[in-house]
Amino acid sequence: MKLTIVYDNEVYVQNEKLTPGWGFSCLIEAKGRKILFDTGWDGGVLVSNLENLGHYPKNIDLIVLSHQHWDHIGGLNHILDASSNIEVYVPKSFSRHLKNEIKSRAKLIEVSGGREICQDVYTTGEIGTKVVEQSMVIKTSKGFLVVTGCAHPGVEVILNEASKMGRVYGLIGGLHNFKQLSLLKNLKLIVASHCTRYKNDISKAFPNSFEEGGVGKKITIDEQYSSN
pLDDT given at position 223: 47
pLDDT in tens, 125-172: 999 999 999 999 999 989 999 999 999 999 999 999 999 999 999 999
- Quote the pTM value: 0.95
Which residue, among 169, 162, 167, 67, has the nearest Cα to 114 in the 3D structure?
A: 162
pLDDT for res 85: 83
What are the boundaries of each domain within the chain? 2-227
How do residues 92-131 score in pLDDT, each as one tens digit?
Answer: 999 999 999 999 999 999 999 999 999 999 999 999 999 9
Q: What is the structure's pLDDT at 226?
A: 58
Q: Percent of the chain having pLDDT more than 70?
A: 97
CA distances from residue 158 to 16, 137, 154, 199 in whole angstroms, order as listed: 35, 10, 6, 18
Instruction: Count the residues in the chain.
Output: 228
Mean pLDDT (whole number) for 66-82: 97
The rounded distance, in Å, linking the Cα atoms of 102 and 108 is 6
For residues 158 and 150, what is the distance between their CA atoms, to the nearest angstrom?
A: 11
**CATH second-level architecture of 2-227?**
4-Layer Sandwich (3.60)
By C-alpha distance, which of 112, 118, 127, 116 is closest to 161?
A: 127
Q: Average pLDDT for residues 45-51, to the nearest whole number?
A: 98
Average pLDDT, the chain: 95
| Whether 63 contacts 76, CB under 8 Å | yes
